[in-house]
Homo-oligomer: A and B are copies of this chain.
Amino acid sequence: MSELELNPRYIEAVTRVVNESPYFALLSMEIKELKWGTSLLEVQLGEKHLQPFGFVHGGAIASVMDAAAFWAAFPQVEKGIGLTTVEIKVNYLAPAQKGKLVALGRCIKMGKTLALGETIIKNGEGGLIAHGTATMMVVPDLRIPGYEDLPPSR
């Protein structure tokens, strides 16, 4: 599929539904921006993200890596069709402790049955924190609750 412009009503609806979903709220994780094939997510870091040694747990970093890759790719599947993550890989490049995580997701390939996304995670000062990839599989009948009929692109 060639590059398209996303439907602003779709972006608004997806952003609201996703940001209000339980796990996003739990981790203070938010979609900040969605474009065709890219995403920008942020995590506001707090005490709750820390492991016993006082650094952000790798699982929190993996969560935003996965989410940024997924939401960069998701708008490229047809209405009514969904994506599910098959596997993820994360490289931890520097520890994080406070401030925020900024995750830039990118869809490397959207195929008929599989997609590959990539995420670069930085801290609030622009320092590289992590890099990762996610393989996703196209699945039928996975819709965003409440927005089943909204076309992703215009």
Please tell me if the beta carbons of B63 and A60 are within 8 angstroms of each other in the complex: yes
Q: Are A18 and B108 within 8 A (Cβ)?
A: no
CA–CA, A21 to B56, complex, Å?
11
A85-B92, A145-B52 given; A108·B137 CB < 8 A = no
* Residue A40, interface by CB 8 Å: no
Q: Is the interface of A mostly helix, strand, loop or mixed?
A: mixed
User: When chains A and B are docked, how far (Å) is the Cα of A85 from the Cα of B137?
Assistant: 14
Judge if A59 is at the interface, Cβ distance under 8 Å: yes
Copies in the complex: 4
Within 8 A of B (CB), among A86-117: 86-93, 95, 108-109, 111, 113-114, 116
- Asked if A116 and B91 make an inter-chain contact with CB atoms under 8 angstroms apart, the answer reads yes
Check: A58 CB closer than 8 A to any chain B CB. yes
Q: Which of B23, B89, B113, B137 contacts A88 (CB 8 A)?
A: B89
Interface contacts beyond A57-B67, A59-B66, A84-B95: sample of 7 additional A-B pairs, CB < 8 Å, sorted by A: A23-B50, A23-B51, A26-B49, A53-B82, A88-B88, A109-B128, A113-B137
25 A-B residue pairs with CB within 8 Å: A18-B52, A21-B52, A22-B51, A23-B57, A52-B144, A53-B142, A53-B144, A58-B88, A59-B67, A62-B63, A85-B92, A86-B86, A86-B91, A86-B92, A86-B135, A87-B87, A87-B90, A88-B90, A89-B89, A91-B135, A108-B128, A108-B131, A109-B128, A118-B131, A135-B135
